[in-house]
Amino acid sequence: MELVQALTSSEKVQSSDDAAQQEALRQRGEIPSHIAIIMDGNGRWAKQRGHNRFFGHVEGVSSVRDIAEACAQVGVRYLTLYTFSTENWQRPAMEVSSLMKLLVHTIRRERQTLLKNNIRLSAIGDLDKLPTACRVELEETMRATEAGAKMTLTLALSYSGRWELTNAMREIARKVQRGELDPETICEETISNHLCTAGIPDPELLVRTGGELRVSNYLLWQLAYTELYVTDRYWPEFRRPHLYEAILSYQDRDRRFGRVVA
């Protein structure tokens, strides 16, 4: 059986020949240039194993590393991870504090991994709300990796889609007020250019782990034509074989964008 055909089997997708799987995916069809992920289920995964929620967040970092490396290797150009939402600030103070410390530690520790894989780190969201230590580590790593040309890894931190759209509307309104923008010329491109993701193509594929069937205030404008892939697997157990399954699913979609194919 040809390798491409073998990839239709979940058992084969999980084989050890990772490089061959990646090449088969590239030969089989289009690799999405931008994948967005809602990394859900850390707490539930930990609870099932008798641990506290933070244990799940720590294990989830391993998934981030594996998925980021796999995306860069297979040919994904942009990977955007929903890391911490504006709603997450409402969680218990101890959990938020632990998450911020984990973020600092992870960004510092993974800097060399990003450099080795030629990955550029970026961030979107209300970053001023992050603790100083987080902002410092984030800014230093973004500067250190700014030449990364293989893939851009974007962390959505203190982010929500409604916050982003509200900010964009305010900036557009200010430009209209200053006479810099004619209201009659405002179009979809105008709005896109005022979002955090300006200059980045919209995601072709959204992966959500943990089984929930919602977008949770994530990239609300950008997901208009994105293909959705939901898995019941919790984020700490989502690794590259499962990413390949998501890409296989994407390759089997018929993306018409509202058009009828004759």
* Of 66, 88, 167, 217, catalytic: 88
Q: Where are the beta strands (DSSP E) in 57-102?
A: 78-85
- Which residue type is seen at 71? C
Q: Active site includes 167?
A: no
* Of 40, 42, 117, 202, catalytic: 40
Q: Active site includes 182?
A: no
Instruction: List the structure tokens of 168.
Output: 């964009």
Q: 228 forms bridges with which residues in the sheet?
A: 206
- Residue 219 has what DSSP assignment? S
Q: 85 forms bridges with which residues in the sheet?
A: 159
At a CB cut-off of 8 Å and minimum separation 6, what does 81 contact? 36, 37, 39, 64, 153, 154, 155, 156
Report in angstroms the alpha-carbon separations of 168 from 37, 111, 127, 172, 194: 23, 31, 16, 6, 5
Cα–Cα distance measured from residue 160 to residue 95, given in angstroms and rounded to the nearest whole number: 19
Instruction: List the structure tokens of 19.
Output: 């490089």
Instruction: List the structure tokens of 36.
Output: 């967005």
- Residues known to be catalytic: 40, 88
